[in-house]
Amino acid sequence: QQQRKMDRPLKKTLILSDILQSGISSEALYQEVAGMVQKRGIEKIIGIGKNISENAGAFRVQEKLFFPSTEAFIQSQKWKNFHNELILLKGARAYHFEQINALIEERPHETVMEVDLDAVVHNFNFYKSKLSPEVKLVCMVKANAYGTGAVEVAKTLQYHRCDYLAVAVAEEGIALRNAGISIPTIVLNSEVNGFE
């Protein structure tokens, strides 16, 4: 079900202010704009301003909201309801749409991942105990130890006497060396210019 949500195209939303100094009547102007909106497949329009609000009937879209001012839109809290929408902001400078942009701009979520290095050591020792003493053990730390922190994981493995580390490219190996890791390191995708 989550995949189905992700596969759906984003709803096209237009936030549009009054168009100032067009040189034609408001009624004719917004009839023309409404035609362009429909032609472009806009599903939701949010009109901000006196003139566009007075011509709300011209817009034939699934969802429409109109506000007399940018402040009224912001105070309505309707901007909090945006989900899976591709939003075009088009406003005259007098409407200060940068305020709306600041509220709705996508912000990356901060994620904290904690790695239990004791569990890494436990797993390392478990597998090492299953091997004959003469068999060497290689631990893969490529791609920043799969996102868990290559240097931290490598230091832990080095302390617990891992025999070898493996990385994908020379730059990863160099980063480990620069961090004080001295275990022999295998570079899986070595390139000639990586030996310089």
Quickly list DSSP for 61-115: -SEEEEESSHHHHHHHTGGGG--SEEEEEE--GGG-THHHHHHHS--PPP-----
Domain ranges of the chain: 2-104, 117-195
- More reliable by pLDDT, 3 or 92: 92
Dump pLDDT digits (tens) for 120-162: 999 999 999 999 999 999 999 999 888 889 999 999 999 999 9
Confidence of residue 87 (pLDDT cuts 50, 70, 90): very high
Share above pLDDT 70 across residues of the chain, in percent, rounded to a whole number = 90
Supply the pLDDT for residue 110.
Answer: 62
Residue-wise DSSP of 39-72: HTT--EEEEESHHHHHTGGG---SEEEEESSHHH
Report the chain's mean pLDDT, rounded to a whole number. 90
Residue 4 has pLDDT above 50, yes or no: no
Region 165-170: mean pLDDT is 95
Amino acid 9: pLDDT = 81
Name the CATH superfamily housing domain 117-195: Alanine racemase (3.20.20.10)
CATH superfamily of 2-104: Mur ligase, C-terminal domain (3.90.190.20)
pLDDT tens-digit profile of 173-189?
A: 999 999 999 999 999 98
- Better-predicted residue by pLDDT, 130 or 195: 130
* pLDDT score, position 1: 46
Confidence of residue 108 (pLDDT cuts 50, 70, 90): low
pLDDT given at position 3: 47
Q: Which residues of 125-155 are buried (b: 16+ CB within 10 A; e: fewer)?
A: eeeeeeeeeeeeeebbbbeebeebbbbbbbb
Q: d(Cα 32, Cα 41) in Å, to the nearest integer?
A: 15
More confident residue, 15 or 110: 15
